Amino acid sequence: MQKSLTIDPQKCTGCLQCEMACSYHHEGVFNPSKSRIKVFTFHDQGLFAPYTCTQCAEAWCLHACPVDAIVTNQVTGAKEVLPTVCVGCKVCTIACPFGTVNYNQDSGKV
């Protein structure tokens, strides 16, 4: 069974705990800049919208990668970045129309 993360923006209070939990789970540190989840704030309306990679069927990031570091996992169907192949050029971050591909400053990879 494929796992997926369901985000309900209606329930978001802007506490950013999802960012903290994600960064700790994946990177071992409580640092929102290392999270795969980002919370967009609509300051004027007092609203928040958490977002993450939408796993597009026609993944622009995958097609834009000049070294083919983004692949589709054959078991789960998820688009994944191969850290051993990624050269950190950030072309995928530009290609993503949703801004959900994030560059990791420490590793020099996405």
> What pLDDT digit, counting tens, does each position of 64-108 carry?
999 999 999 998 889 999 999 999 999 999 999 998 898 988 889
Instruction: Kindly tell me if the per-residue pLDDT of 11 is higher than 80.
Output: yes
For 104, how many CA atoms within 13 A lie in the half-sphere containing its CB? 16
Local confidence band at 25 (pLDDT 50, 70, 90 cut-offs): very high
* Domain co-membership, 29 together with 75: no
**Amino acid sitting at position 85:** V
On average, the pLDDT of the chain sits at 92
Say what the pTM is.
0.80
Instruction: Calculate mean pLDDT across residues 38-63.
Output: 92
pLDDT value of residue 3: 67
Can you tell me the distance from the alpha carbon of 22 to that of 20, in angstroms, rounded to the nearest whole number? 5
- Residue 14 token pair: 């802007």
Of 20, 56, 25, whose CA–CA distance to 38 is shortest?
A: 20
Task: For residues 75 and 46, state if they share a domain.
Answer: no
Burial of 39 (0-12, 13-18, 19+ CB in 10 A): buried
Q: Which of 52, 74, 89 is the last residue of a domain?
A: 52
Instruction: Calculate mean pLDDT across residues 28-51.
Output: 92
Pairing, β 70-72 against β 47-51: unpaired
47 and 76 housed in the same domain: no
